[in-house]
Structure 1
Amino acid sequence: MKTSEGRLHPFAAVFVSLQIVKGLIVPLIVIFLSKHSRSGSGTPLYFQVGWSLAALVGSIVWGFLSWRRFRYEVSEEQLKVTQGVFVQKKTFIPLERIQSVDVTEGVLHRLFGLVRVEVQTAGGQKPEAVFSALARGDAARLRSMLEPGKAPQGQEQPEPGVLSAGSGSDPSKLRLTYKLPVGSLFVAALTTGGFGVSVSLLAAAMGKLDELFPDFHVYRYLWNALDAAMIPLFALGILLVAWMISAIASVLKFANFTITRKENKLLLTRGLLERRQVTVPLRRIQAIRIVEEPLWQLFGYSALYAETVGYGVQKGENAHLFPLLRNREIGEFVKRMTPQFEVPASLKHHALPRRALWGYALPAPLVLALAAAAAGLITPWAYVGLLLCPLVMIWQWWRYRNAGWSREGRMLVLRFRRLAKTTAVIPLSRVQSVSVEIGPLQRRLGLSTLQIAVASGRRGAFFRLAGLPEQEARELARWYMDRNKR
């Protein structure tokens, strides 16, 4: 039996030490900036510096010991990893259980010609083995020995549209690649939906300013320094900064984005400063979402996401299949990359009935109007909310117009809109559960809300379509219950 043994690159000790130091930076900054440490009644400054140096030396020693104790061994049946400073931990991973071997190159990794390797097994919520620093040659050899995605004979049957690894087809003909053009990268970055996340993070950071600098009184200083007329401009500047942060983050994340299909798996490569390559087996994709942001919809662009099972939060349950693609190219892209999710050309779209418009257009504006009227008893400015009711009603009408469903054979397609228009493509074999909800108003109108659940990440993914005729919803539920008969 042939075996291959190895260890991490010595620079792995530095990565472990830096990770420990990173976790200590914020507490040390808070201690040094706190009022207690400056008042003279607290711990002397030299004592705090001494503890900081001791923590730094301890992290270096810990990193060195972690590197010394880490070993791995690959045989014909399994991967064995031994690690631990005080408590030795041995992990045994059968090769047939390995689903993906992902490679990441951070800035420091690239400077020293190293990579980070993560090994993921079927059903795992996090990597079962992490190699923090390997030379590129060692990583390539390790990856070739592990060869993810080869299931034992008789354990797994190929799905429709997915070619078997042992099928006699020429593997070179199965390798297909799509690259994200530079122009599309900047369009996606400038119009990304991550703007709201940036605003939230920036607002949370600003909320901590007075806590970090209690003697400075940041907001009182700004209030006294700015005229009342400048406050809206200041708020606009904050939004502009958040938009710039979101755009820069998108460029750093999706630069050099490439997706390649090799037999029954997808290789996704992306990143400018940190280069990352993720392996996604086709059989682990549960559903595909085609997302059209409002600005993208005007110019005929969409982003494609895959709901994957067993990848955990750090992998991203919603893997980007492609950040920005023209709508007319989506059909060919899906056919080449994920053929089991190809939508038949004969699939007929069903719009929601007219009576469903009431359930979309009335509730939200009515709640807004009542809230504005109630708040108007306290301050007259609250009545401005009444002016927003027509806009909300128009938006809800737009949601109603975009919603619908399609079904043929073993394929279900749901269309709905929250902020972005989403088209979910769900094969019958991927559906985990179907539920039908009927509210009081829906009961009078003969309508219902359909919810489809698929396995994704830790909690699964759910797709809801409100305003579906009750009869159609129950037929879709029977379609799921009779899946074993098809």
Structure 2
Amino acid sequence: MSWLFVLIQHLKQYIVPLLVLVFVGRGDRNELWSLVGVALLVLAALWRYATYRYGVGASGLVVRSGLFTRNLRVIPFVRIQNVAVHQTVLHRLFGVAEVRLESAGSKEHEAQMRVLKLADAMALETLVRRRGDSPAEAAEERVDTLLRLSPLEVLRLGLVSNGGLVLAGAGLAAAMQMLPDVNGRIPERALRRGANWLLGQLGGYQLDALGYVLLAAGAIAFVAAALKLLSVTLALLRYYGFELSEQGRQLTAERGLLGRWRTTVPRRRIQAWMLEEGLLHRLVKRRRLAVDTVGADGHEEGRALKELAPIATPAACTALVDHLLPRAGWDALHWQPLPKAVWWRMFLPDVPWTLLATFALYWQVGGWCLLALLWLPWAAFKAQRRARRIGYALNGELIAVREGWWHRYWRFAELDKLQALQITRSPIDLRCGTATLWLDTAGATAMGPALRIRFLPEHEARRIYERLSASLAKRPLRW
């Protein structure tokens, strides 16, 4: 049944436009002829898939593929960084799985086996792990469970996350692109009719101003509850049965309700760490522990191990860090605060935007636009609270940065995982005698907070820079 998975892989990007074309009845019917080209692509993919073979050599995997041009690849076991085993609902029905092998610094898969028997997939994962480890590590077969999330914890994860809002926004953006005439007559007519019907229904109740305010508040609460319910549903689908285990020097995370993801990565491939907690996390006394790994690509689900603890108690997160970084002394770090006077540097970016918003609102609401200036006292208060929490810590093994007040995070990395150091100074820094120290690691993404120390006095930034440079010069890089 391998042809079925290949067929779905090539057709899933055409399903939504095809359904819109058939059931909405708008657009050009000649677009159906594109399915002929899709069918030819599927046939070619099936033939290529029939020529795909892989085998196990003495020091690596051998992959043979190609239709007219034959390719033969040899992938050393020591080069494979991440092993991801993925099962969709269809995979689970047929008892098969997809295996992806990834290496450091590569945006593409080293090898991808779309359909393997589940037993073969697990055997391949075990084989790669044993051949890639040292003899001492390979002899270690005991599997220790480091963290397991109960269904109640997964529900908490859904309550503190914003997955429903993200999904709703993505769905709206997709609808704007796919639905015909979304900026034309059909949506405009539908919205007008919906608004007239709603006003007609409300007109019969003869609501006063307070009634309309309560109705609007109820509608907002209903939408918020629906989005939160969607977030809980997504959390159950993605993280149900989450289990983090350790075997030798390998970490394995397995999760998923309908589809299952299983990702294995060596501990030495972890480059940077991040603890974070938002306001809702603090209300339920939970945190999140995430990592950056070599070869990770955040744009594709399940490709790399990115979360060691999607949600856990602060004590559990600290225990994980102490277990995986025993020499770092996370609990004994001495945090260095920055001068509290830096609060105005955090407050300064809000001033021009607030004044610009006030000026723009003047043409709409007149003198009421001055209410927008009330944001400035709140921004000043928020900047002062953030300035009290910002700080850094440095010892012989680890460098860590903490920031945030409303949304707090701790970002840290081992010294021998640092790849580059940089000192930058803006015009304001030149005026104030401060600098920003940037610390770069492999596997870092632009989506998360940067590993940097802001608003440092220039002499202190250069002192830390020289200390870290000397440490990097003495130690060999470990990938």
TM-score (normalizing by structure 1): 0.82
TM-superposed CA distance for 1:231, in Å, is 6.9
Pair 1:467-2:455 in alignment:
yes
Give the equivalent residue in structure 1 for 2:205. none
- The 3 A distance-change label for structure 1 pair 446 and 61 is closer
Pair 1:23-2:8 in alignment:
no
- The 3 A distance-change label for structure 1 pair 133 and 31 is same
- Give SS of 2:241's match: coil
Cα offsets for 1:157-209 (capped at 9, x unmatched):
xxxxxxxx444897256734321122211111111144552353244245455
The answer to whether the Cα contact below 8 Å between 2:412 and 2:451 also exists between their aligned partners in 1 is no
Pair 1:177-2:143 in alignment:
no
Distance 2:157 2:262 in 1: 20
- The 3 A distance-change label for structure 1 pair 425 and 244 is same
The amino acid of 2:354's aligned partner reads A
- The 3 A distance-change label for structure 1 pair 442 and 195 is farther
Cα offsets for 1:85-142 (capped at 9, x unmatched):
4443332212332233321111011111111111223433222111111112222333
Trace 1:68-467 onto structure 2 (pairs within 5 A): 68-147=50-129, 150=132, 165-167=134-136, 171-172=140-141, 175-194=144-163, 196-205=165-174, 207-208=176-177, 209=179, 211=181, 216-217=186-187, 218-227=190-199, 229=212, 237-313=222-298, 314=300, 315=302, 319-336=306-323, 338-339=324-325, 342-360=328-346, 362-380=347-365, 381-417=368-404, 420-456=407-443, 462-467=450-455
TM-superposed CA distance for 1:214, in Å, is 5.2
The answer to whether the Cα contact below 8 Å between 1:125 and 1:457 also exists between their aligned partners in 2 is no
- The 3 A distance-change label for structure 1 pair 97 and 173 is same
Moved more, 371-380 or 435-444: 435-444
Moved more, 435-444 or 90-99: 435-444
The answer to whether the Cα contact below 8 Å between 2:97 and 2:121 also exists between their aligned partners in 1 is yes
Distance 1:351 1:326 in 2: 25
TM-superposed CA distance for 1:23, in Å, is 2.2
The answer to whether the Cα contact below 8 Å between 1:17 and 1:62 also exists between their aligned partners in 2 is no
- Give SS of 1:312's match: coil
Distance 1:447 1:12 in 2: 61
TM-superposed CA distance for 1:145, in Å, is 3.4
Pair 1:14-2:4 in alignment:
yes
- The 3 A distance-change label for structure 1 pair 13 and 457 is farther
TM-superposed CA distance for 1:236, in Å, is 5.5
- The 3 A distance-change label for structure 1 pair 284 and 453 is same
Give the equivalent residue in structure 2 for 1:160. none
TM-superposed CA distance for 1:350, in Å, is 1.4
The amino acid of 1:404's aligned partner reads G
Distance 1:436 1:193 in 2: 35
- Give SS of 1:310's match: coil
- The 3 A distance-change label for structure 1 pair 251 and 372 is same
Distance 2:262 2:98 in 1: 10
Moved more, 174-183 or 14-23: 174-183
Distance 1:368 1:445 in 2: 23
Structure 1 unaligned spans of 5+: 1-10, 152-164
Cα offsets for 1:311-369 (capped at 9, x unmatched):
22325667011111111222321222x22674344321112212212212x31442243
Cα offsets for 1:300-319 (capped at 9, x unmatched):
32100011111223256670
- The 3 A distance-change label for structure 1 pair 171 and 28 is same
TM-superposed CA distance for 1:81, in Å, is 1.8
- The 3 A distance-change label for structure 1 pair 440 and 81 is closer
CA-atom RMSD, angstroms? 3.1
Distance 2:345 2:451 in 1: 18
Distance 1:225 1:265 in 2: 60
- The 3 A distance-change label for structure 1 pair 53 and 432 is closer
The amino acid of 2:333's aligned partner reads L
- The 3 A distance-change label for structure 1 pair 330 and 60 is closer
TM-score (normalizing by structure 2): 0.83
The amino acid of 1:182's aligned partner reads P
Moved more, 65-74 or 227-236: 227-236
TM-superposed CA distance for 1:249, in Å, is 1.5
How many correspondences in the alignment?
452
The answer to whether the Cα contact below 8 Å between 2:131 and 2:138 also exists between their aligned partners in 1 is no
- The 3 A distance-change label for structure 1 pair 373 and 149 is farther
The amino acid of 1:343's aligned partner reads G
- Give SS of 2:271's match: strand
**Structure (1/2) with the larger helix percentage:** 2
